[in-house]
Amino acid sequence: MARELKGDIVVALTTQGVDKTMAEIADKLSNHKKPVLLIGAFPEGHFSKETLQIANETYRIHRRRLEAWTVVGRAIYDFERAFAAKTSARETTLM
């Protein structure tokens, strides 16, 4: 499915990724026209090797495994903030 979306950046969130805050990741994603964020919702285990090969980058936002709904909520909130900040900055420069 991630391949079918043809995103210009694909980021996977996994407990095995590099430490970053969700705000940092959202800021990075907001710089792209078609970002794809992969969130594992596995009771146990991790993304397959094939799925991880699709990802340009892998991050973790917490040292422990989080519930998928918590990660999704954080991602939406922080992406909205990052996108709004960039949109406001563009509107201000255009005035």
Domain ranges of the chain: 2-94
Name the percent of the chain lying above pLDDT 90.
58
Residue 31: is its pLDDT beyond 90?
Answer: yes
- Dist CA 26 CA 75 (whole Å): 7
The topology under which CATH files domain 2-94 is: Alpha/beta knot (3.40.1280)
Residue 13: is its pLDDT beyond 60?
Answer: yes
Q: Place 21 in a pLDDT band, splitting at 50, 70 and 90.
A: very high
pLDDT reported for residue 45: 81
pLDDT reported for residue 53: 92
pTM for the complete prediction?
0.83
Residue pLDDT, tens place only, 39-65: 987 878 888 898 899 999 999 999 888
